[in-house]
């Protein structure tokens, strides 16, 4: 699989090989709360092959249309089709991102960009679509048996700006089908005294506390603040999530290490619960946060909490957990989703 990697800033990366003149280019996008990632995918290639991949900072652009226009202004090809993965429900014509003040009309965006076809899917639906296309070295084993990660059903879970949840299931014809969900918004269930204290802190800040409130970048910053004794209100001094991760991994800050340890433990419990609810046979973790502290995650209580399901502990012991380390899985998934629609019978 050919993948172009981005460098710092918002400029698109140029491909390392020449563009084929007979390619059928599709614009693919992975639109999160913080970043928007784009690439071109050749629909005629047997597997998704990305060119001109780039990551833009959402805050630098007033709208998704503006971000796409910026990206297309830096590439020579002009795609007439697009597949966009968005961090929110994607079933209606009007799409509103959950963690970014961007909204758009599917039909309006399609017409504004001069596209003949625009497909919009949930971001973790896209990550689920990507899994069958990933190479062996695009994922690493975390816990459980070292087994084929495509043993369906596959729960796809991952923290980033929010907490995404998707499901990959097999079809009778031997293919794949993706079920998009908003499972990250299930209610947080504390399991010990410290988590009960966190629930009270987060309730004071948000009211209802979903798993996403803890298992995202801001959630990690809030866990850190709560454990440092900061108030739950708007005056709480939050450290940047990246700083909390850096200090925790370096081992130079006890509070940061305690916060990241708790984050990993809660993630294990939630991922295990999601696997049970979805009837999964294996779990794939994804998203931008986890690869940044993979050794820490492996050494944390994640695996223990994932398996700790009372009478179903043995069932969880037999479940493989993998982490996606491919740099652009959402873009691969958006391309796969477009191909799935194009190949579907009328």
Tell me whether strands 139-143 and 163-170 are parallel, antiparallel or unpaired.
Answer: unpaired
Whether the Cβ atoms of residue 152 and residue 168 lie closer than 8 Å to each other: yes
3-class SS at 189?
A: coil
Q: How would CATH label the architecture of 184-324?
A: 3-Layer(aba) Sandwich (3.40)
Q: Which residues are paired to 285 by β-bridges?
A: 157, 323
Q: Quick one: pLDDT band at residue 28, thresholds 50, 70, 90? A: very high
Q: State yes or no: 31 annotated in a binding site.
A: yes
Q: Which of 147-151, 314-318, 339-343 has the lowest mean pLDDT?
A: 339-343
Task: Please report how the helices 254-278 and 217-227 are oriented relative to each other, as an axis angle in degrees rounded to 10.
Answer: 130
Q: Is 33 annotated as a binding residue?
A: yes
Helix, strand, or coil here: 61?
coil
Return the domain boundaries, the chain: 25-131+328-343, 184-324
Tell me which of 17 and 21 has the higher pLDDT. 21
CA–CA gap between residue 262 and residue 301 (Å, rounded): 8
Q: 0.85 exceeded by the pTM?
A: no
Per-residue tokens: 309: 């399901």
Measured distance CA(279)–CA(149) in Å, rounded? 15
Quickly state the pLDDT bin for 9 (edges 50, 70, 90). Answer: very low
**Helix residue ranges per DSSP H, 113-190:** 123-130
Q: Measure the CA angle with vertex 78, ends 26 and 132; round to 5°.
A: 15
Q: Where are the alpha helices (DSSP H) in the chain?
A: 64-72, 106-112, 123-130, 193-206, 211-214, 217-227, 241-250, 254-278, 294-299, 302-307, 313-317, 329-343
CATH tag, 25-131+328-343: 3.30.420.40
34 is in an annotated binding site: yes
What is the per-residue pLDDT for 240? 96
Per-residue pLDDT reduced to its tens digit, 260-283: 999 999 999 999 999 999 999 999
Instruction: Confirm whether residue 29 is marked as ligand binding.
Output: yes
């Amino acid at each position: 699989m050919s993948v172009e990697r981005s460098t710092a800033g918002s400029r698109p990366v140029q491909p390392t090989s020449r563009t084929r003149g007979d390619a059928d280019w599709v614009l693919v996008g992975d639109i999160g709360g913080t970043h928007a990632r784009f690439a071109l995918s050749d629909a005629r290639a047997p597997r998704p092959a990305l060119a001109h991949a780039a990551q833009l900072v959402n805050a630098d652009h007033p709208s998704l249309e503006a971000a796409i226009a910026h990206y297309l202004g830096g590439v020579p090809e002009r795609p007439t089709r697009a597949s966009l993965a968005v961090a929110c429900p994607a079933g209606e014509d009007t799409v509103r991102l959950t963690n970014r003040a961007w909204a758009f009309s599917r039909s309006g965006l399609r017409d504004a960009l001069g596209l003949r076809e625009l497909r919009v899917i949930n971001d973790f639906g896209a990550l689920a679509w990507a899994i069958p296309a990933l190479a062996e070295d695009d994922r690493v084993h975390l816990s459980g048996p070292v087994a084929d990660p495509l043993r369906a059903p596959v729960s796809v879970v991952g923290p980033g700006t929010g907490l995404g949840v998707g499901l990959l299931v097999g079809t009778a014809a031997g293919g794949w089908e993706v079920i998009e969900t908003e499972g990250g918004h299930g209610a947080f269930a504390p399991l010990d005294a410290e988590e009960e204290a966190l629930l009270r802190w987060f309730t004071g800040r948000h009211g209802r506390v979903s798993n996403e409130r803890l298992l995202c970048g801001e959630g990690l910053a809030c866990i850190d603040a709560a454990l440092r004794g900061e108030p739950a209100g708007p005056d709480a001094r939050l450290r940047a999530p990246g700083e909390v991760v850096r200090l925790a991994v370096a081992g130079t800050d006890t509070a940061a290490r305690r916060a990241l340890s708790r984050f990993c433990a809660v993630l294990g419990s939630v991922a295990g619960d999601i696997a049970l609810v979805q009837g999964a046979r294996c779990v794939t973790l994804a998203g931008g946060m986890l690869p940044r502290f993979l050794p820490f995650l492996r050494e944390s209580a994640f695996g223990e909490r994932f398996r700790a399901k009372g009478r179903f502990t043995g069932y969880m012991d037999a479940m493989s957990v993998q982490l996606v380390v491919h740099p652009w899985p959402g873009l691969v998934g958006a391309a796969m989703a477009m191909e799935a629609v194009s190949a579907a019978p009328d």
